[in-house]
Amino acid sequence: MTRVSILPHLKNIKPSATLFLNERTQRLIAQGRNVYRLGFGQSPFPVPEEVVQALQTSAHQKNYLPVKGLPALRKAVAAYNRKTLALECGPENILIGPGSKELLLGLQMATDADLLLPTPSWVSYEPQAQIARKKVIWLETEERNKWLLTADQLDQACKRLKARPKMLLLNYPNNPVGSTYEPDELGKLAVVAREHQVVVIADEIYGALEFTGTHHSLAQYYPEGTIISAGLSKWCGAGGWRLGTFTFPDECIHLLQAMATIASESFSAVSTPVQYAAVRAFEGSEVINRYLELSRRILHVLAQYVYHELIAHQVTMPAPEGGFYLFPNFNAYRSALIKREIFTSTTFCEHLLEETGVALLPGEAFGRPENEYTCRLAFVDFDGGVALTAAGKDPSTALDESFIRIHCPLVHEGIARLCDWLEGL
């Protein structure tokens, strides 16, 4: 039999850092060790009950749906965008896919542009670009700018680059950093993107989890060139349901069409019952609003708690503004770490996990230099259902450390262990 080989452009793709960490964590658990899963970024909250019920009552829906999505769902997503972002858009601007991740890959496969990627960035963007044979241009960011891209940095990069089509991936609230853009920063980025005709994919999957509930989109400032990527996975706790949404401006409808063609020859359409249930989620209700408010309050208090504990231990990072993550920088411990032969963020995470049971993901996995001691910390190792019930009992009571100790004990203990470990370095 002739040996079938892997295509050359796929040979360099490493298995994801998350999977590697998962294996190590499982091994420790099998040895009976306590593990604090601060590396994984899944929503801790249950899907709102009425959305679950909508899925149950739609289980009999068995026919394939149109490739671009259930018309009622495309309408509901457009209405949601109009309500939450005051965007001019209709159902014809919306594409539904099996998770925004699949849509992000589809867009890269369908287009000829080079990909501008700020570092740090979510782990999957670069491998997706490799799969789609795209050129990636990393854009440096700085910790003092919340690890976010400035308009000036974008301008400089566009001036340096050849006159090829360019697509920028901008994610906010950000994974791995937890920061987001202020409206005036978005306005400045919009001016530069317009000047250089950059199409921007605004990955706003954590938008509804901006802690103050006032998420702004680049599409409000650069409507003609912004494609919004979002979905049910984060704010609705439904990552495993696999439903993502793209919102295209009229100027990019040809890209929606191209992606729909790819979809028609690959996934065909998202699961029918899930699409019916998603209509309920995007239409929203008082109960869903309440669920979201409580989710944001819990995430906010946790983020603040972890942030202040770590800052008190000379760890640096931008203040958290939304989502599930912080991006601590342990550079203050550089000489102690070097003495222990810990030279990279990856070995930092390995030592930390082995010695304390605390799992973090190395900054290297997010495009940072390997010798920078940055890591992603996800503060979502708790039972979101229990926390929501407790927080909802007395809405007037401020959530505090005792709430975290009681209802998010693994995050509380994990942070204590991490701080003890730093003290012992």
Ligand X SMILES: Cc1ncc(COP(=O)(O)O)c(C=O)c1O
CA distances from 119 to 88, 111, 230, 241 (A): 31, 22, 20, 29
Asked if residue 204 lies in contact with residue 186, where contact means CB atoms within 8 angstroms, the answer is no
Q: How far apart are CA 106 and CA 132, in angstroms?
A: 9
Stretch that binds ligand X, among 76-84, 95-103, 249-257, 298-306 (CB under 6 A): 95-103
- Shortest Å, Cβ 119 to ligand X: 14
Site for ligand X in 122-151 (CB under 6 A): 122
**Span from 86-94, 132-140, 231-239, 365-373 in contact with ligand X (CB under 6 A):** 231-239
Shorter beta-carbon distance to ligand X: residue 231 or 414: 231
Rounded least distance, CB 269 to ligand X, Å = 16
Residue 106, interface with ligand X (CB under 6 A)?
A: no
100 lines the binding site for ligand X (CB under 6 A): yes
Nearest of 364, 358, 382, 367 to residue 310 by alpha carbon:
358
Of the listed pieces 6-14, 64-72, 94-102, 385-393, which binds ligand X according to CB under 6 A? 94-102
Residue number, 156 or 266, with CB nearest to ligand X: 266
* Of positions 244, 249, 273, 414, contacts ligand X by CB under 6 A: 244
- Choose the stretch contacting ligand X; rule: CB under 6 A; options: 50-58, 99-107, 299-307, 406-414: 99-107
| Cα–Cα–Cα angle for 210, 359, 402, rounded to 5 degrees | 60
Query: CB–CB of 136/157 below 8 Å?
Result: no
Q: Is 233 in the site for ligand X (CB under 6 A)?
A: yes
Residues in the chain: 425
Piece in contact with ligand X (CB under 6 A), picked from 5-13, 25-33, 96-104, 387-395: 96-104
Minimum distance from CB of 244 to ligand X (Å)?
4
What are the backbone dihedrals phi and psi of residue 231, each rounded to the nearest 5 degrees, phi first? 160, -165
Asked whether the beta carbons of 168 and 196 are under 8 A apart, the reply is: no
DSSP 279: H
The answer to whether residues 177 and 170 touch, using CB atoms and an 8 Å cutoff, is no
By CB under 6 A, is residue 99 in contact with ligand X? Answer: yes
Nearest distance from C-beta of residue 207 to ligand X, angstroms: 11
Element (H, E) at 375: strand 375-378
Cβ proximity to ligand X, 101 vs 134, nearer residue? 101
Give the nearest distance from C-beta 240 to ligand X in angstroms: 9
What whole-number distance in Å separates Cα of residue 106 and Cα of residue 263?
A: 8
* By the rule CB under 6 A, 384 interacts with ligand X: no
Q: Given the complex with ligand X, which of 147 and 333 has the nearer CB atom?
A: 147
Residues 360/38, Cβ–Cβ less than 8 Å? yes
Size of residue set near ligand X by CB under 6 A: 13
The nearer residue to ligand X, 193 or 238, going by C-beta atoms, is 238
Gap between the Cα atoms of 364 and 376, Å rounded: 10
Phi-psi domain of 128 (left: phi exceeds 0; alpha: psi -120 through 50; beta: other): alpha
Residue nearest to ligand X (CB): 99
CB 341 within 8 A of CB 371: no
CB of 122 to ligand X, least distance (A): 4
- 254 CB burial (10 A radius; 0-12, 13-18, 19+): exposed
DSSP 323-369: SSEE--B-GGGHHHHHHTT--SHHHHHHHHHHHH-EE-EEGGGGT--
Which range in 57-65, 79-87, 97-105, 349-357 contacts ligand X by CB under 6 A? 97-105
Piece of 93-101, 247-255, 328-336, 402-410 that binds ligand X (CB under 6 A): 93-101
User: Nearest distance from residue 41's CB to ligand X, in Å?
Assistant: 6
Q: Is 171 a residue that touches ligand X (CB under 6 A)?
A: yes
CA distance 233 to 153: 31
Give yes or no for residue 108 binding ligand X (CB under 6 A).
Answer: no
Q: Which of 39, 41, 225, 362 binds ligand X (CB under 6 A)?
A: 41
d(CA 210, CA 179): 9
175 binds ligand X (CB under 6 A): yes
The least CB distance from residue 91 to ligand X, in Å, is 20
Q: Pick from 178, 225, 231, 320: which binds ligand X (CB under 6 A)?
A: 231
Say if residue 398 is exposed, middle or buried (CB neighbours under 10 Å; 0-12, 13-18, 19+).
exposed
Q: In this structure, what token pair is assigned to residue 221?
A: 């400032």
Binding site for ligand X (CB under 6 A): 41, 99-101, 122, 171, 175, 203, 205, 231, 233, 239, 244
